[in-house]
Structure 1
Amino acid sequence: MTTWRNAGAALLRVLAVWAVSTLTMVLLALALPGFHLQSADGDSFTRIGITAALGAGCFGLLNALVWPWLVRAMLLVPALALGLLVFLLNGSLLWLALSAIPDGRGTAGPSTAVVVAAVMSVAASATSTFLAVRDPDAQARRLRRMAGRRAARSGTARHTDTPGIVFLQLDGIGHRRLCAAIEGERPQMPALAALLGTSHRLTPWHTDWSSQTGAAQLAILHGSNEDVPAFRWYEKDTGEVIVSNRPSSAAELQRRAVERTGSAGLLAQDGASRGNLFTGGAGQAALVLSVAARRGRGQRSRAGYFAYFSDPAHAARTAASFLAELVREIAQALRARFTGTGPRVSRGGLYPFIRAFATVVQRDVVTAAVIGDVLNGRTSVYADLVAYDEVAHHSGPDSRDTRQVLARLDRCVATILRAVEHAPRPYHLVLLSDHGQSHGETFEAAYGHTLEELVRIGCGRPVPRPPRRQETGAEARGAARVALHRPERPARPRPAEDDRQERGRAPVVLASGNLGLISLPDVPGRAGRLTIERRCPALLRTLAEHPGIGFLLVHDERHGPVALGAGGAEHRLATGEIVGHDPLAPFGPRAAAAVRRTAGFAHAADIMVNSSVDKDTGDVHAFEDQIGCHGGLGGEQSRAFLMSPLALSAPAPGLVGAEAVHRELLRWQREATLRPTPGQPAHAPSRPR
C-alpha cells in the first residue's frame, strides 16, 4: 500500500508540474509577441490549451532525457560559459518541443524561445519545491536535483549508523564578527544562532602570522603550513613568485605539505573537497585550485559546475541572482561614494563580476555539491564559501554590504542542515573560519605612497609613475579565472621600466594584506642585516621610522631574527632581549612566537614588514587595495572561530595556529568513527545528549 501511495503522490506531482508548465506557456504566449500557440486562422482557447500541454509535456521529456547528455558532452566548455550556453541549449530544446506539435501551431523566434524556456524551467522547479514541503521523500529528491543529477548518482548512498562530518569553512569571518551576527533578538545569522543555543559550542582560535587562506587551509587540510610566509612570496632559488590562488602554486604547496607530513590529508578516507585551494587528499574534488588542470575521474576541479547546471532551472535562477548582485554592488558603490563613506577603495573594473561570482555562483555551486555529498553518505566533506571574504575586502568587515552576505550564507547553512535530515547516515556539522578581517585605510591612501615606492625611496632608486599595482589576494579571483579557463599570469616579477638595464637588482616587493615582503633577488639566500645596510644604507631606517609600519623582521648576523621598530627599538627573538620599547607589544602576547616561527622558514623574505595597528580601534593599513584585509598581525584578522558539536569532545583550550586546528579535526573524525549511533534513524542528524 505504501508503494502504491508513493507512486500515486509522485504521479500527482508530475501532473501538477505539467499543469503549471502548461499555464505558464499559455501566459507567455499571451504576453510575448514572438511566441504563438495557435494557427494563423486562430484557435479556440481549448485548442490553445491542448497545444500548450503538448508543448510543455514534450519540453519536460526532452529536459529529462536529453539534457543530461548535452551537459556531459560539454565538459570542455569553460564553466561560466556553460552557464550562459545553458540558456541557448534550453531554448533549442523548447524549439524542438514546439516543432513536434502537429499542424505547426507552436512557433517562437530564437531569442523568444530562450526566454520561454528559462521561465518555464523556473516555474516547474518552483512548483516541485512547493509540493515537496510536506513530503520528506520529495524534499530529498528536490535536494538531489539541487545538487545536480550527476552528483546525486555519482556514488551509491551508504546507509550506516556511523556519523559522517561536514566541515564548512565560512571564509574570513572572525570570531568577534560571528558573535555580533548571532547575538540579539533578531540575529543576522539565525540558523547559526539556533545551533549555538542547542547543539554547538563556539571557540576562538588564533592564526599564524600569515593570517590568510593559503597558509590556514593548507595546514587545516594537510597538517602543515611550514614555509608559507604569506599569500604570495618570492623564491630566490627558482626566481618564481608563489601565489596561493594560482593553480600551479597551489599544486606545488600541496605537494610540499604531503611530502613534509607523509599524510595524504584530512579527507583521504572517503572525503570530498569543494571550493577549496587544496584537496586534503579527497578522492572527490570539485572547484579545487590545486587540481584545476587535472582531467581524471572525480578530480575535475570544475565538475561541480556541470553537476549544478545539469538542471536548466539552476542556470536561470543563478543568472537572475548574478545580475541582481551586479546591480546591488554598483548601487552600493555609488551610495558609498555619494555619501562620502570612508575609507573606500576602487570598486570598478572586473570587481563587480568577481563579487557576483563569489556571492552567487561559487556559493550556490559549492552548497549544491555539499548537499550531493551528504545525500550520497560520504564520510567527510570540507567546503569553503568565500562570499563574505570577497565583499569585506572592498566594503569593510562590518559594513551593511557584508551583513547582507552573512544572511545569505546563513541560508546556505540552513539548506545543508535540511539535507542532513535526509542523509543515509547521521552527520556532525563543524563550522569554522580560516582567519578574520581587520579594518583600516590603505597604506597608500593614508600616506600618499605605496610600500614599493617607499622601498625604492629608501634604496635611492627612482619611483616609476604611474606606480605598478598588485592584484589583490582574494581566493574568488583564482576560482573565477579557473572557471573561465583563463591562463595563469606570469610567475616571475617584472622589473620597472627604469630597471631594465640592471634586471634583478631592484628589490622585489610583494604584499599580503598588511604584511609586506621585500627580497633582494641578487643576494643568494637570506640577506642579513649588515648586507642589507651595505646595499641600501637608508632602507631599514626608512621603513622602521615610518608611522604606518609597526615592525620589520630581519636576520641579524649576531643576534639571529630581530624585530625592528621606530627609534632603534629591537626585539631579539632568539633570546627575548628587548632594546628600547618592544615593537611587538601592540600586536599582543602571541606576536613574538608567531614571528619567531616565520623567521625560521626557508623562504621568508629578507625583510618582512607588518603595518602599524591602532591600539584603540585595531585598524591596520593594507599594502594592497583593501579596506578589509588579512595576512599579517593586528586587529581582528588573527582571531578565527570554530563552532563544533557538543556531541564531540571540546577543542583544546587556547588553540594557536592552523596546524593545531588540523589536529582537532582529525581527533573528531576518529571520535565519529568510534561512536556510532545505534538505533538512531539513518537519516537523522546525531543529537547531543
Structure 2
Amino acid sequence: MSGGVGGGTAPAGVRGTGQVARRTRLGLTLLGSWRPSWQWLRGVVRAFATSFAALAVSLWLLPGTQVTQGAYSVANLAIAVLALGALLRPLITYLTVLTGVVGLLLFGLLTQAAVLALALAVVPTVEPFSASEVVIASWASAVAAASFNWLVDTSSDEVFHGQVLGRAVRRTPRAGADGPGLLVVQLDGVSEPLLRQAITAGSVPTISSWVRGGSHVLRRWHTGVPATTPAGQAVLLHGDDTSVPGFRWYDKQRGRLLAASRPADAAEIEADMSDGRGLLAYGGASVSNLFSGDAPTRLLTISDARLPGRDPGSASFATLRFGFLRSLTLFVGQVVTEWYQGRRQRMRDVVPRIRRGGQFVVLRGLTTVILRDLNVTIVADQLTRGTPVVFVDFVDYDEVAHHAGPSRPETMRTLENMDRVLDVLDQLTREVGRRYEIAVVSDHGQAQGSTFLQLSGRTFTDVVRELSESPRVENAGEEPGQRTTGETWVPVAALSAGATGSVRLLTRGARWLVHALTRDPAPFEGGDAAQTPDQLVVAASGSLAHVYCTGEPGRLTRERLDALHPRLVRGLAEHPHVGVVLTRRADGAVVVDGGDGWRAWHGAHPAGGEGDDPLAAYGPHALADLIALERRDHVGDLVAFGRYDPSLGEVVAFEELVGSHGGLGGWQSDAFLLHPAGWRAPLDEPLTGRQVHDTLVDRLVVLGLRGDREQAS
C-alpha cells in the first residue's frame, strides 16, 4: 500500500527552493546543538598530534631549512592549524549536511589547505616559502591530516547521522509520499524492568523524554515460554503463538532439527505459520528480522535471506564511504574495546562471566556496528520512499548482554547507543513526507547467571546421556568447544546473504577469521547430520532444553518415557542445576517435577502431587506459561528448565551465555511496548504478545494503512 501525494505536484523551482530551505533549517539545527565536550577535547589532542606529525613529515620532505627552532616551530604551526580548524569545524558540519559526503571530503581538504597556508604566513619561526613550496607543503600536510581526520570524523555518530538526515532531506521531494505511517523499532532482548531502570538513571534520554513528556506510554508484555526471538517475532509479526517452541527444535514430521538462525529453516517456519495477513502485509518493509510479517519488501530478513539485497539503502551504505568506512573504523574499535572489556572482567574476577573469546570479538563488531549502521541507512531509505509501515530489529543490546551480562556497564552503554539511534529516527520522521508514528518494542528480556557447564563441570547433554543410559544422544545446542550460539549468528547470516558486495565480503572475511581463531563453525551453515532412530536429541535454547526421542512418533507420554528411560525424568529433576522438568501423562495432565516435589494439572485444575511445589519460586505466570507451552507445536518429549535463584534473580543457562533467555525466571519473559499516547490498547497488565500484535494492527487500521478483514472497532 503506497501513499499518494495530495494537492498535485509542485513546480520544480518551488520544490528546489523548499528543499534548500529544509536542508538549511536542518543544518542550522545541528550547528546550534554543537557543544564542547570531553570527547571533543580528546579529539583536539588527537588532532594536534596528527597535525604535528603530518607537518613534521611535510617540512622534512621539502628541500632546505624551513624552521628555525625545530619541534617548537612545528608545534606552533600545529597549534595555529588546530585553533583555526576548531573554529571552522561546526561550519564544516553544517556545510556537510547541505552538500553530502563529497562535500565533507572537499571542504575538509580545502579548509585544511587554506588554514595551513595562513598558519605558515603568521608563524614567525617558519621561514618564508616560495609559492610552489607553500602549495606542496600545504597540500601534503592537508592530504595527510584531512585523510586521517576524515576517517575519524566519519566515525562520529554526529557526522554519520547528519549524512543520513541530509540524504533523507534530498530524497524526500522525489519520493512523493504523504499521509500517516508507522515505524516499529525492536530493541532485541531489552526487558521492561531494565528499561525503566535506564530511564531513571538517565541512560536513555530520548525514551525518557517521550515517557516524561507524555507523548508515549511504556507498557510491559509477558512473552511466556519460550522467551526467544523466533517466538517473539512470530507473535509480533504474524500473530502466531503456537508454532515456535524454542530457538531450535526437532520436527518429528520432517525428521530433522530446525533452527531459526538458518535461512532455509526460517523460511519453512514462516511458511508454516503465515496466513498472508501479517503485520507488514499491506505495503510494509521488514528490515533485519527473522520473519517477514508478510512484507512485500524484505531486507536483511532471515526467512528471505537467500535473495541478495539490491535495495538503494544497502547499496548506498556499501558504496558511500561515510557509511562503509565509518563502520569499518568503528568495527576495528569494537574489536579492541571487546578485548579490553573481556580482560577487565577477568582481572576483576567478575562473576558470573563466560569466556569472551576470539569469535565474539569479531561478531560484536559485526552486529553492533556494521548491522546497526546498515539498518539505520536502510530504514532512512524506506522512510524517504514513504513505505507505510516499517519494522526493524536492532540486536546490539541482546548480543552484548549474552556475553557480558544484561546489566553490565558495556551492555548499558550499548542501550545508550540505541537511544541515540531512536533520536535520529525521530528526527528522520520529521523530515520525510509521511507523518510517521514511532512505536518501540522488545521480543523478550534476559536473565543473568552461570552456565550449566560452569556449575556442573559437564554439559546438560552429558547428564542426559548418563541418565538415559544411551550412547546415542545428539546435542543440537552447543558443545563445550563451540562458543558461538545459533542466535549469535543470526545477524551475521542476514549480513552475509542479504547485503550488497562490500558488506558481504567483510562479513565472510570475519566468518573466516572466527573459524581460524576458534575452529568454531557458524551454526547456520549447513544442515545437521541426519538423526537416526532410537536416538535422543537435546535442543537447548538458553535456559530451556527440549529432549526428543527420535524413534518414537508424536509426543511421548510420561509413562512411555519412564518405560524407555526409567532414570531420566526424576534424575534431571533432582539435578542441583535443573529447576523443573515438564512432561505429559497419558490422561493429558501436565506434570512438573522438581527436586523436592511434583505437581500435575488438568488445565488449571490440580491432578495430583506431593512434596514442595516446584513452581513456587517462578512467579504467578509460571503455571499458565507451561500449560501454554504444552499447546505449542513440536514440544519436546520432556522439557527441562535451568534452575532459578530468586535471591539473585539468576538463571542457569544450558548454552555458554552469561545472559540468557528462553525459559522461566527473572526478567527474560518481561518484554516492553512503548507506544504513542492515545493508541487504543488493552488495559491488561501485563499485555500478551497477541494483544501487542492486535494493538499494532489496530493502529494501522485507524491510520488507514490496512484494509483486510480486521476493522477498527
TM-score, normalization by structure 2: 0.73
Distance in 2 (alpha carbons) for counterparts of 1:448 and 1:609: 18
Name the structure 1 match of 2:194. 177
Q: Cα distance 1:282–1:449, how it changes in 2: closer, same or farther (>3 A)?
A: same
SS of match in other structure, 1:424: coil
CA displacement 1:124-147 (0-9 Å, x = unmatched): 898x978xxxxxxxxxxx868427
Q: CA deviation at 1:346?
A: 1.2
Q: CA deviation at 1:284?
A: 2.2
Distance in 2 (alpha carbons) for counterparts of 1:645 and 1:30: 52
Name the structure 2 match of 1:636. 667
Stretch of structure 1 that moved more, 331-340 or 217-226:
217-226
Distance in 1 (alpha carbons) for counterparts of 2:17 and 2:588: 82
The question of whether the paired residues in 1 share the 8 Å contact of 2:287 and 2:391 is answered with: yes
Q: Cα distance 1:648–1:6, how it changes in 2: closer, same or farther (>3 A)?
A: closer
User: Is the counterpart of residue 167 in structure 1 residue 184 in structure 2?
Assistant: yes
Q: Cα distance 1:181–1:537, how it changes in 2: closer, same or farther (>3 A)?
A: same
CA displacement 1:61-109 (0-9 Å, x = unmatched): xxx9999xxxxxxxxxxxxxxxxxxx9xxxxxxxxxxxxxx9xx999xx
AA matched with 1:236: K
CA displacement 1:195-219 (0-9 Å, x = unmatched): 1013111111100210010110121
User: Is the counterpart of residue 270 in structure 1 residue 283 in structure 2?
Assistant: yes
RMSD: 4.5
The question of whether the paired residues in 1 share the 8 Å contact of 2:243 and 2:273 is answered with: no
Q: CA deviation at 1:453?
A: 0.9
Name the structure 1 match of 2:598. 569
Q: CA deviation at 1:657?
A: 3.6
Q: Cα distance 1:32–1:9, how it changes in 2: closer, same or farther (>3 A)?
A: farther
Distance in 2 (alpha carbons) for counterparts of 1:147 and 1:490: 40
Q: Cα distance 1:164–1:182, how it changes in 2: closer, same or farther (>3 A)?
A: same
Distance in 2 (alpha carbons) for counterparts of 1:190 and 1:215: 30
SS of match in other structure, 1:350: helix
AA matched with 1:490: G
Equivalent positions of 1:291-330 (< 5 A) are 291-295=304-308, 304-330=313-339
Name the structure 1 match of 2:458. 449
Name the structure 2 match of 1:93. none
Name the structure 1 match of 2:121. none
Distance in 2 (alpha carbons) for counterparts of 1:66 and 1:175: 38
Structure 1 residue corresponding to 2:537, chosen from 508, 511, 532: 508
Name the structure 1 match of 2:432. 423
Q: Cα distance 1:212–1:35, how it changes in 2: closer, same or farther (>3 A)?
A: farther
SS of match in other structure, 2:338: helix
Distance in 2 (alpha carbons) for counterparts of 1:531 and 1:324: 55
User: Is the counterpart of residue 528 in structure 1 residue 547 in structure 2?
Assistant: no
Distance in 2 (alpha carbons) for counterparts of 1:242 and 1:590: 28
Structure 2 residue corresponding to 1:31, chosen from 23, 44, 54: 54
Q: CA deviation at 1:394?
A: 1.1
SS of match in other structure, 2:254: coil
Structure 1 residue corresponding to 2:268, chosen from 211, 227, 252: 252
SS of match in other structure, 1:558: coil
Distance in 2 (alpha carbons) for counterparts of 1:237 and 1:469: 31
Distance in 2 (alpha carbons) for counterparts of 1:464 and 1:230: 17
Name the structure 1 match of 2:117. none
The question of whether the paired residues in 2 share the 8 Å contact of 1:437 and 1:629 is answered with: yes
Q: Cα distance 1:428–1:36, how it changes in 2: closer, same or farther (>3 A)?
A: farther
User: Is the counterpart of residue 673 in structure 1 residue 710 in structure 2?
Assistant: no
AA matched with 1:402: T
AA matched with 1:188: S
Name the structure 1 match of 2:115. none
Equivalent positions of 1:209-248 (< 5 A) are 209-248=225-264
Name the structure 2 match of 1:95. none
Q: CA deviation at 1:507?
A: 1.2
Stretch of structure 1 that moved more, 242-251 or 473-482:
473-482
Distance in 2 (alpha carbons) for counterparts of 1:530 and 1:114: 76
AA matched with 1:516: A
Distance in 1 (alpha carbons) for counterparts of 2:237 and 2:250: 24
Name the structure 1 match of 2:578. 549
Name the structure 2 match of 1:157. 175
Equivalent positions of 1:12-51 (< 5 A) are 31=54
Name the structure 1 match of 2:79. none
CA displacement 1:272-329 (0-9 Å, x = unmatched): 111111121222222211111114865xxxx754332332122232122112211111
Q: Cα distance 1:158–1:532, how it changes in 2: closer, same or farther (>3 A)?
A: same
Q: Cα distance 1:157–1:508, how it changes in 2: closer, same or farther (>3 A)?
A: same
Q: CA deviation at 1:154?
A: 10
Q: CA deviation at 1:123?
A: 5.6
Structure 1 residue corresponding to 2:389, chosen from 377, 380, 386: 380
Distance in 2 (alpha carbons) for counterparts of 1:494 and 1:29: 63
The question of whether the paired residues in 2 share the 8 Å contact of 1:357 and 1:476 is answered with: no
The question of whether the paired residues in 2 share the 8 Å contact of 1:204 and 1:640 is answered with: yes
Structure 2 residue corresponding to 1:414, chosen from 414, 423, 430: 423
Name the structure 2 match of 1:619. 650
SS of match in other structure, 1:245: coil
SS of match in other structure, 2:624: helix
How many residues get paired? Answer: 593
**Unmatched segments (≥5 aa) in structure 1:** 14-23, 44-59, 68-86, 88-101, 131-141, 496-502, 676-689
SS of match in other structure, 1:318: helix
Name the structure 1 match of 2:43. none
SS of match in other structure, 2:466: helix
Distance in 2 (alpha carbons) for counterparts of 1:468 and 1:30: 49
CA displacement 1:395-441 (0-9 Å, x = unmatched): 11111111111111111111111112212122211111111111111
Structure 2 residue corresponding to 1:583, chosen from 614, 635, 641: 614
Identity across aligned pairs (percent)?
A: 31
Name the structure 1 match of 2:210. 195
AA matched with 1:31: A
TM-score, normalization by structure 1: 0.75
AA matched with 1:167: V
Q: CA deviation at 1:179?
A: 0.5
Q: Cα distance 1:409–1:262, how it changes in 2: closer, same or farther (>3 A)?
A: closer
Q: CA deviation at 1:335?
A: 0.8
AA matched with 1:615: P
Q: Cα distance 1:547–1:280, how it changes in 2: closer, same or farther (>3 A)?
A: same
SS of match in other structure, 2:667: helix
The question of whether the paired residues in 1 share the 8 Å contact of 2:172 and 2:433 is answered with: no
Distance in 2 (alpha carbons) for counterparts of 1:9 and 1:171: 34
